[in-house]
Structure 1
Amino acid sequence: MKSPLACILVLWALGVIFCISVRPLMPVDETRYLSVAWEMWIHNNWLVPHLNGAPYAHKPPMLFWLINVSWAVFGVNEFSARMIAPIFGALNLVMVSVLAGKLWPEKTDARVLAPLFLVGSSYFAGYGTLTYFDMLQSFFALLGWYGVQTASQGRVRWGWALVGIAIGLGILSKGPVILLYILPAALLAPLWQKRDQKNTAALDTLASISPVDQQDGEDARDDRQMTHRRWKGWYLGLVVSVLLGAVIALCWAVPAGIYGGEEYRNAIFWGQTAGRMVDSFAHVEPFYYYLVALPLMLLPWLLWGGLWRGIIGFRWRAGLDDGLRMVLLIIVVLMIAFSLISGKRVHYILPVLPLISLLLARVISASNALGVMARRIDLVPIAVFVILIGLVAIIAPFLPLYFAKAPVWLATLNGWWGLVLVVAGAVLIVAGPMRGVVYRIAIVNLLLVVTVCMIAAPRLNIDYDMRPLAEYLKTQQDEGRDIAYWGKYHAQFQFLGRLQRPIQMLISHDEMLDWAKNHPDGEIIARRDRPLDAQERPLAGFDYKNDRLLIWDIQTVLENAAGVLAR
């Protein structure tokens, strides 16, 4: 294979297109983010993002800007907006290859293997099809690490400039958490740049030999002072890069804070920084959460026997170079740091996957993975894993017919796509020579992700397709009716319906009645678990998860309220 990376990028693009073509935008996150971009578009306000008419301070604007750029080029459409995150997924694959070349320029295999290990992670490949911020964040983390390495290898100004750009754009992508990814590599540089430490120790020893060779001792002290000055310059460069990143971020944040008002200003300057650390209790998980999640994120690689033989056989003492030390150090620091934060979500440690891919690429390249590591028996666990998923998919739709307790929704799965996985698992073992085994596993993993999307697509479209309701609301707004949502509204309908006006969110029953009295021609959306005690049928109903969203006219709402009071 002349260009494995180019082939993987093509396969990545095809897989992403398949996945986003067959499944709907997933509420509440994907629909919410595209709704923010939509309101930015219709109001032509690129400074302060809005959601359902109110300033939206929970996320910085980079993703919304990029979506609007795509719409400026291709017109407002769902496809180009949903391709932004996958494009950054592809850039992650390119960047991890470039960083491998920077870390180990003499290890050409590592540069080839690193993106294969990354795209061969089921979590990375699956998550990369979603419209989230983490692919952008991961890319800028990689760019920052590349800048640190560039600075350490002598191109100081260019390296720190890249670090500053990565910090600034990373803040605009997902907030100051980018500092937690990038800074450890720079701050702890004396721990992974061991060559300088060894040289300094040797100089100290030489300087202590006196008075046999006083001149050599003086030269040693001069060299030691140069080393100390180098580290002072190193940390000065780091400070400058952080300031550069802050300036880039503040170019947006300061005018946005002024324009958005005091509440929005406090939210972006406090809520996006210390507030997220102090108040990160929304997704509280135990300390060991990531220790359990990370192995699952690395499937199917952990099932490959060749990987374990390569790790065990690697000469760690001799092979622990500066690049490998840096990668290991960042992985450990990030895992500890995120484990100490109470709020945990799996995608918070997504940038750890490129680091692990670099680690595995370095280890396996040293073990001659394309030759010695290519034993057919090593692929059996992965093949069994893929085949079992395929068999489960084939069997699952039939379970409700024979088992009363089986969930009815299983019958909606497109289980026959499981045959693809059964065939892929068999081919993984028996087809052709075993050269390019890592490449083969990566392709099977991409096929696994695409096939799972095809299997789940019918059910996802039943449970999560908000388009029919959004289009209904569009017609009602065009006719001049006001719309309210009884309950927590996440702007699921704003983009899908191309709505021009906000939908009022009503939390309490009294608030709902007050709104109804003031909007006699309006309509109210309510979940079925908040039913009105009325004999009349709702104006419309739409499936949502295991529930339904019902549309009530105001007259029915008020008559129901009067009947309740009369009783």
Structure 2
Amino acid sequence: MTDQLAESREAGLQLPPLLLAMCLFAAISVLGVILRPALPIDETRYLTVAWEMRLSGDWLVPHLNGLTYSHKPPLLFWLINLVWLVTGPSEIAARLVAPAFGLASIWATARLAQRLVPASPDIGGRTALVLAGSLGFSIFAGLTMFDALLTLAAVLGVTALTNVPTQARAAWLGFGAALALGALAKGPVILLHLLPVALATPLWAGIGTKQMIKGLALGLLTGLAIVALWLVPALIAGGPEYRHAVLWTQSAGRMVDSFAHQKPFWFFLALAPLLIWPWGWSPTAWRAVRLPGPLPVWIGATFVIFSLISGKQAHYLLPMLPAVAVAFAPALADARLSMRLAAILPASLLLVFGAIMLGFGPQEWHAAAEPLAPMLLGSGLVLLALLLVWRGGPNAACASALIALSLSVLFLGRMSEIYDAGPLARRLAPHEAAGIGLVSRSYAGEFGYAGRLLQPVQLFDRPQDGLDWLARCPARILAMPIAKAPQAMPPSEVMTFRDQTYGLWLSPDPGKQQETEACR
């Protein structure tokens, strides 16, 4: 005990490692929610789906802009609406739901590490610090998406499998429950994360192949039975198009020939250094890497399978990062990596302060410092990054988190002026009783929750169709990118959203038009 306390003082830690890791992630996530708007198109879309679930009271089949939404299962939307039952439709409360599962994933990963390396009593805390300090996890687990829930499901599933040699039946039932959690969070993709680990249990858990097959069948049936409690009623209520989309398009369709996010096979290989920064950039840390139990299969199979799948996004590998954290955790016990917090805190805080001044200070400050900002902050980040790579220890997680915060503030500080859907949505909202029109082929609900709209937005592929619809009734409003608008019809006003200038057209004077059947 005395040795552990001395080691903590030498490392500069004032909190238990697990608690420190969770506090770091919580701080970054909460500040991110407060400092930046919900990002289009993903976060705004999921908030709108949750909002329409609240409006309709239909918890079986999610909807987006009045149409069935088959792209994702409903768990995240359920959880947001449960929170809204207490808080009302608060954006901050809704956007903290997914990060809460990021916190749970840190705790579960620490627990898993302790099970895999029982001889090292501090491995759980060190693993938590590595995970919380990884750039990929600190960014993506704090967003309103499904990957933090999927990460928790993956960690819980692997944890259940570690019990197979001693409590086989309970372990496989727990594995099935984890499959159900992942499936309700993001669909069948949870199988790609957990099935290879389960199939390899004869190799790393020392059980027989027959026992594995029987146990896996029990786990799959358990997971399917839980998911069926939602899926069967939803497929019946959603109709044939929804059934086809859920059962085929959104699973096999994405893997074989992705209709979205197509990337080359080497995409994740190029991205990996950023996801595991700063730990993966240190030769000393690499020498300390250990791969106990299921980690080789978990990391290797996930990376290879997702590289072969057509659709790729950076956050798809988030459920693999807990395994990477366990692998790198022994590096934090290396004496050569020890460093006091005082050595890195001033530089980190200076970066954060500078980013806040540039991102949220008066416009004059931003304009004056803009020519120097990239050079000064870029140099500071590079120097601090090198310091972490070569001398980082347990406190490297602190500095890494501060760097992630400074980057977020620097690049997202002015994001409200570009990516905040609120101003345009609130301008459209007063017209929704008569009708809101939008000329767009890629509307993803950006204005639904942001404007607290109660009715769907009318979508048009061609500008002239939108203008004809506008002219039929009074009090309507039509938005379209200026680049698509006819030059002969100037808009009433213009607004900017996502680096695109939108024009707003209002219906002609009600006294000069006749109400038609379409208005009623």
Normalising to structure 1: TM-score of the pair? 0.78
CA contact (8 A) 1:185 1:330 kept: yes
**3-state secondary structure, aligned to 2:483:** coil
**3-state secondary structure, aligned to 1:438:** coil
1:44-443 pair list within 5 angstroms:
44-152=57-165, 154-193=166-205, 196=206, 230-311=208-289, 324-361=292-329, 363-364=330-331, 368-369=333-334, 371-374=335-338, 411=370, 418=377, 425=384, 438-443=393-398
Q: 1:186 to 1:52 in 2, by over 3 A?
A: same
Task: State the shift of 1:494 in Å.
Answer: 0.8
Residue in 2 that maps onto 1:524: 478
> Which of 475, 485, 490 in structure 1 is aligned with 2:444?
490
Task: State the shift of 1:166 in Å.
Answer: 0.6
**3-state secondary structure, aligned to 1:497:** coil
Higher-Rg structure is: 1
Task: State the shift of 1:112 in Å.
Answer: 1.6
Task: State the shift of 1:74 in Å.
Answer: 1.4
Measured against aligned partners, the alpha-carbon deviations of 1:286-314 in whole angstroms (never above 9, x if no partner) come to 22211111112111223335314434xx7
Task: State the shift of 1:129 in Å.
Answer: 2.1
CA contact (8 A) 1:481 1:521 kept: yes
CA distance in 2, matches of 1:294, 1:427: 18
Q: 1:51 to 1:192 in 2, by over 3 A?
A: same
**3-state secondary structure, aligned to 2:395:** helix
CA contact (8 A) 2:116 2:293 kept: no
Q: 1:394 to 1:453 in 2, by over 3 A?
A: closer
Residue in 2 that maps onto 1:549: 502
Partner amino acid for 1:272? Q
Task: State the shift of 1:453 in Å.
Answer: 2.0
Residue in 2 that maps onto 1:224: none
CA distance in 1, matches of 2:274, 2:349: 18
CA distance in 1, matches of 2:190, 2:440: 34
Aligned residue pairs, count? 487
CA distance in 2, matches of 1:157, 1:185: 17
Q: Which moved more, 1:520-529 or 1:384-393?
A: 384-393
Residue in 1 that maps onto 2:416: 461
Partner amino acid for 2:327? L
Task: State the shift of 1:130 in Å.
Answer: 1.2
CA distance in 2, matches of 1:280, 1:409: 45
**3-state secondary structure, aligned to 1:284:** coil
Q: 1:384 to 1:121 in 2, by over 3 A?
A: farther
Q: 1:471 to 1:410 in 2, by over 3 A?
A: farther
Report the identity percentage.
Answer: 36
Task: State the shift of 1:389 in Å.
Answer: 7.7
Q: 1:99 to 1:325 in 2, by over 3 A?
A: closer
CA contact (8 A) 1:486 1:525 kept: yes
**Residue 428 of structure 2 corresponds to residue 473 of structure 1:** yes
Task: State the shift of 1:108 in Å.
Answer: 1.5
Residue in 1 that maps onto 2:363: none
CA distance in 2, matches of 1:499, 1:253: 28
CA contact (8 A) 2:149 2:182 kept: yes
CA distance in 1, matches of 2:264, 2:251: 22
Measured against aligned partners, the alpha-carbon deviations of 1:175-221 in whole angstroms (never above 9, x if no partner) come to 1010111111110122223xx4xxxxxxxxxxxxxxxxxxxxxxxxx
CA contact (8 A) 1:420 1:451 kept: no
CA distance in 2, matches of 1:36, 1:261: 18
Measured against aligned partners, the alpha-carbon deviations of 1:272-295 in whole angstroms (never above 9, x if no partner) come to 332222331422222221111111
Measured against aligned partners, the alpha-carbon deviations of 1:136-170 in whole angstroms (never above 9, x if no partner) come to 11110111101111113x11122111111111111
**Residue 27 of structure 2 corresponds to residue 10 of structure 1:** no
CA contact (8 A) 1:524 1:553 kept: yes
**3-state secondary structure, aligned to 1:524:** strand
Q: 1:409 to 1:475 in 2, by over 3 A?
A: farther
Q: 1:554 to 1:395 in 2, by over 3 A?
A: closer
Moved over 6 A (4+): 382-397, 412-417, 419-424, 426-429
CA distance in 2, matches of 1:251, 1:23: 37
Q: 1:509 to 1:471 in 2, by over 3 A?
A: closer
Q: 1:303 to 1:36 in 2, by over 3 A?
A: same
CA distance in 1, matches of 2:484, 2:31: 37
CA distance in 1, matches of 2:177, 2:463: 49
CA contact (8 A) 2:492 2:504 kept: yes
CA contact (8 A) 1:167 1:178 kept: yes
**3-state secondary structure, aligned to 2:178:** helix
Partner amino acid for 1:72? L
Measured against aligned partners, the alpha-carbon deviations of 1:507-529 in whole angstroms (never above 9, x if no partner) come to 12453244235445421110122
CA distance in 2, matches of 1:445, 1:501: 44
Task: State the shift of 1:13 in Å.
Answer: 1.6
Partner amino acid for 1:438? G
For structure 2, list consecutive stretches of 5 or more residues without a partner in the other structure. Answer: 1-13, 360-366, 513-520
Partner amino acid for 1:464? Y
Partner amino acid for 1:12? F
Task: State the shift of 1:10 in Å.
Answer: 2.1
**3-state secondary structure, aligned to 2:393:** helix
> Which of 22, 25, 42 in structure 1 is aligned with 2:35?
22
CA distance in 1, matches of 2:475, 2:176: 54
**3-state secondary structure, aligned to 2:505:** strand
Q: 1:55 to 1:426 in 2, by over 3 A?
A: closer
Partner amino acid for 1:113? R
CA distance in 1, matches of 2:266, 2:202: 29
Partner amino acid for 1:533? Q
Q: 1:422 to 1:48 in 2, by over 3 A?
A: closer
CA distance in 2, matches of 1:526, 1:542: 10
Pairwise CA RMSD of aligned residues?
A: 3.5
Task: State the shift of 1:31 in Å.
Answer: 0.6
